[in-house]
Amino acid sequence: MYVHTPTPSQKISDKSDSLTAPLRSAFFISDGTAITAETLGRSLLSQFGNVKFDIKVIPYVDTIELAHQAVMRINDAHRLSGLKPLVFDTIVSDEIRTIINAATATNLDIYEGLINRIATEINEIPNPHTGMAHGDVDSEDYKARIDAVHYALDNDDGARTNHYDGADIILVGLSRSGKTPTSLYLALQFGIRAANYPLTEDDLNTSNLPKVLQPYHHKLFGLTIDTERLVRIRQERKAGSRYASLAQCQEEQRAIQAIYTTQKIPNLNVSEMSVEEIATRILQMTGMTRRII
């Protein structure tokens, strides 16, 4: 998607039924990673739920030659589909932005207007540079993020339970309730050191916490998930097993809810949530401060 420009068959524009109707292209373009342009662009396009777009991301457009290549791709998309592409760009260089703006597209220049408004308001001249959106790799904040990733990995799934002193949070929950992806997202995005510990059958047979967790009660946060969804996820993993059976999942759900209640562990039903949503809700509920400023 990034490098190989598919060459749409000419047939596409000949057909007129809705199944093969050409899609409007949306380009996310930047002289950096294009992550900012893509994040905002997808978010805006999601407000038009009924429309499908042909999305193309073009990062690192940082030379005049690459800018002209991008313009050719935009113009080709226009010609082949007959629909004017949308272009979301976060290009810092005026020279390169001017070239991109000359494409036959609707240019939703994200930076241009906003940077000028900020400059006027704070009475500062912008100091344009590319690629700082994700931070300086020599900063303490960046190191904290990378350390947190290694921490999450070392403390995944109840491993190395002697390292919980260093945890900011310990996620608990049933097997396949979303603990691992959430721990890693908290680490990568927010620099939070998140361990996770699965409460398995042995742990659930008693309403006490497992011994290794007892000293860290204040760090525990529970994930819950609807039984039906849990069964489905486990079936995808181990179809037909007792582990994935409705009866087993129901029993584990009953037991873990009892632990959350008895032990007063804050918890969140994550059934309908993406990892982004789970992580953000956890920060909000716990008041945890992110390591990244």
Does 46 bind a second copy (CB under 8 A)? Our answer is yes
Does 23 count as an annotated binding residue? no
Q: How many CB atoms lie within 10 A of CB 267?
A: 19
Interface pattern 210-249 for a second copy (x via CB under 8 A): ----------------------------------------
- Contacts with a second copy in 60-79 (CB under 8 A)? 60
Distance of CA 277 to the CA centre of its chain: 9
**# residues near a second copy by CB under 8 A:** 82
- Contacts with a second copy in 125-144 (CB under 8 A)? 126-129, 131-135, 137, 142
Q: Single out the residue of 197, 199, 203, 114 nearest to residue 161, CA to CA.
A: 197
Window of 44-52, 67-75, 204-212, 245-253 that interacts with a second copy by CB under 8 A: 44-52
- CB closer to a second copy, 205 vs 272: 272
Does 183 count as an annotated binding residue? no
For residue 186, what are its two tokens? 């908290």
Does 104 bind a second copy (CB under 8 A)? Our answer is no
Residue of 21, 23, 149, 212 that binds a second copy (CB under 8 A): 149
Q: Rounded to an integer, what distance in angstroms lies between the CA atom of residue 195 and that of residue 170?
A: 5
In angstroms, what is the minimal distance from the CB of 73 to a second copy?
14
Window of 51-59, 73-81, 200-208, 252-260 that interacts with a second copy by CB under 8 A: 51-59
- Report whether 101 contacts 107 (CB < 8 A): yes
Residue of 23, 80, 84, 212 that binds a second copy (CB under 8 A): 84
Does 159 bind a second copy (CB under 8 A)? Our answer is no
Burial 189-226 (b: 16+ CB within 10 A, else e): bbbbbbbbbbbeeebbeeeebbeebeebeebbbbbbbe
Interface pattern 11-40 for a second copy (x via CB under 8 A): -------------x-------xxxxx--xx
Q: Rounded to an integer, what distance in angstroms lies between the CA atom of residue 23 and that of residue 155?
A: 45
Q: Rounded to an integer, what distance in angstroms lies between the CA atom of residue 41 and that of residue 86?
A: 9
- CB closer to a second copy, 207 vs 274: 274
Does 15 count as an annotated binding residue? no
- Contacts with a second copy in 248-277 (CB under 8 A)? 272-277
- Report whether 216 contacts 231 (CB < 8 A): no
In angstroms, what is the minimal distance from the CB of 180 to a second copy?
7
Binding residues: 173-180
Binding residues for ADP: 173-180
